[in-house]
Structure 1
Amino acid sequence: MSSNALYTDLSAYYDLMCSDINYQQQSASIHRLQQFLGNNGLQHLDLACGTGPHVRNFIDFGYQCSGLDINQPMLDMAMRRCPEAQFNLHDMTAFHLEQRVDLITCFLYSIHYSQSIERLKSCIASVHSALNDGGLFCFNSVDKHKIDNTTSVKHFTEFEAHHFAFESGWHYGGEGEQQLLKLNIAKSRQPFMASLADALPLFDTPDAGLQEIELWQDQHTMVATSFTELQQLLAPYFDVHIFEHDYEKIVPWDCVSGNALFVCVKI
């Protein structure tokens, strides 16, 4: 059994790690919100676009799309997936567009990659400047006060005769403006014992020593905010609507859950 660190380049594993995500459903939900609350325009920018799966769906919905990310290998994959779109290597906390857009999205909690409150403020200001009047800024977020450090999300998939297990979870120390996103990846030629892996962290499964498994660990420093703090940061720029983190239907946030969808109309 071997182990090493992924550091910052997850491009080789990104699509596998996110293989259980319904990109079409997420994109369609934001498209509906743009029709209901936005200016109904079709110029779209996806922040932290990764390998471009959301961009692909918005193109199919009829949008003229662009994407922005700080990872060039992911952008290379995005360009192959979406040759119709424009992609730029840039930091989402300080960007400028020559031509404004109608919709800016930031999926998969990527807004937290801003890393600090000051950089998050800069991101919000950049988004506001890049939007047309009545344009929409949509992203999902987690409230730092609702994070359970003992829980994580796991899923399993197969690729090129190998079995993969992915585990991710938030960790917040209880104070300050930073939290961690912890990631584990396990790769094996044998199927994982799902019942054990569901009950235990991937790196502590009893069967791990019985087969050849490659293990990777990584963690990313993310900005930590409460939803109240986030609303205060957005309020000077946007009319803020908060919905439940449910892409199947549009439901107002219940003021209890720790995951929410922020839909912000430029003012």
Structure 2
Amino acid sequence: MATYETFASVYDAVMDDSLYDKWTDFSLRHFPQKAKGKRLLELACGTGIQSLRFAQAGFQVTGLDLSREMLDLAQKRAQAGKQSIDFVAGNMLDLSGLDTFDLVTCYSDSLCYLADEVEMGDTFAQVYDHLAEGGTFIFDVHSTYQTDEVFPGYSYHENAEDFAMVWDTYADEPPHSIVHELTFFIKEADGRFSRYDEVHEERTYELLTYDILLEQAGFRDVKVYADFEDKEPTETSARWFFVAKK
């Protein structure tokens, strides 16, 4: 799984901020009624923007991420927003050090960074074990249409005063997998720009695979939606949303 070492410093600048509003709105629509005040675990919380949104909405939030660099930014964000959020460095494949939660989320296709179906199934099992009875798990992933038709050949360039980046995406060998190649030019204190390169690999699966893995983990009530809306996926949906109940 990627740790976003360099990406942490420019991640917020290149993210579409409106997506956090959409993730928040989708969550609030699909959390149980009277869920506010409940314990919420956000997996792959990154720099904490979504965690802060959940805290501001009235939840007791814990954010977990592999990247300590991102968690440092997240903690500063929470302090600036005057919110008490527990940020934990850790791997979603092993949640053994955490308590149970009423709600678990994992957004921004973060599960697509897991290596294979085994890791996906293990993560679902970890989430199930750390959900309270009646708890809700919500996550999103790339659709197979997104990985197979949209991403291959994708290119994004960003230029700002203190950084520049080139983001190119290619199809990878495993089915429904892609490789993001990122090059950053970041302005240092002396005014010079330093180059950094990172490679991020993502993979998704057929809808049926997710259903089977969730069922094997113990989830029985699973609903699937698409593209932040309460509608069923179509052949050209870009992002799938799963709402699973324990």
TM-score of the aligned structures, taking structure 2 as reference length: 0.80
Fraction of identical pairs, as percent: 22
Query: Which is greater in Rg?
Result: 1
C-alpha distance in 2 between matches for 1:47 and 1:257 = 23
The offset of 1:157, in angstroms, is: 6.0
The offset of 1:214, in angstroms, is: 6.8
Letter in 1 for 2:65: D
User: In the TM superposition, what whole-angstrom CA distance separates every residue of 1:230-252 from its partner, at most 9, and x where no partner exists?
Assistant: 11111232221110112xx4222
C-alpha distance in 1 between matches for 2:3 and 2:143 = 25
Instruction: Label 1:157 to 1:108 Cα distance change in 2 as closer, same or farther (>3 A).
Output: farther
C-alpha distance in 1 between matches for 2:131 and 2:140 = 18
Q: Which has the higher contact order (CA 8 A, sep 6+)?
A: 1
Instruction: Label 1:49 to 1:181 Cα distance change in 2 as closer, same or farther (>3 A).
Output: farther
C-alpha distance in 2 between matches for 1:52 and 1:218 = 21
User: In the TM superposition, what whole-angstrom CA distance separates every residue of 1:152-209 from its partner, at most 9, and x where no partner exists?
Assistant: 2636463xx346355353623254xx833304345599xxxxxxxxxxxxxxxxxxxx
Instruction: Label 1:259 to 1:164 Cα distance change in 2 as closer, same or farther (>3 A).
Output: same
The residue that corresponds to 1:147 in the other structure is 148
Letter in 2 for 1:231: D
The residue that corresponds to 1:257 in the other structure is 237
User: More deviation in 38-47 or 96-105?
Assistant: 38-47
C-alpha distance in 2 between matches for 1:121 and 1:174 = 18
User: More deviation in 70-79 or 113-122?
Assistant: 113-122
C-alpha distance in 2 between matches for 1:123 and 1:20 = 27
The residue that corresponds to 1:201 in the other structure is none
C-alpha distance in 1 between matches for 2:243 and 2:222 = 6
The offset of 1:97, in angstroms, is: 5.3
C-alpha distance in 1 between matches for 2:155 and 2:138 = 23
User: In the TM superposition, what whole-angstrom CA distance separates every residue of 1:72-99 from its partner, at most 9, and x where no partner exists?
Assistant: 1111111111241111111111212553
TM-score of the aligned structures, taking structure 1 as reference length: 0.74
Compute the RMSD of aligned alpha carbons.
3.0
The residue that corresponds to 1:179 in the other structure is 177
Question: Given the alignment, which residue of 27, 32, 37 partners 1:35?
Answer: 32
- 1:56-205 to 2 correspondences below 5 Å: 56-83=52-79, 84-96=84-96, 98-144=98-144, 147-148=148-149, 150-152=152-154, 154=156, 156=158, 158=160, 161-162=161-162, 164-165=164-165, 167=167, 169=169, 171-173=171-173, 175=175, 179-185=177-183, 187=185
Instruction: Label 1:181 to 1:263 Cα distance change in 2 as closer, same or farther (>3 A).
Output: farther
Letter in 2 for 1:140: D
SS class of match (2:243) = strand
Structure 1: runs of 5 or more not aligned: 1-5, 190-211
- 1:232-243 to 2 correspondences below 5 Å: 232-236=212-216, 237-238=218-219, 239-243=221-225
Report if aligned partners of 1:103, 1:137 keep a CA contact under 8 Å in 2.
yes
User: In the TM superposition, what whole-angstrom CA distance separates every residue of 1:38-80 from its partner, at most 9, and x where no partner exists?
Assistant: 9666211110111100000000100000011111111111111
The offset of 1:151, in angstroms, is: 3.8
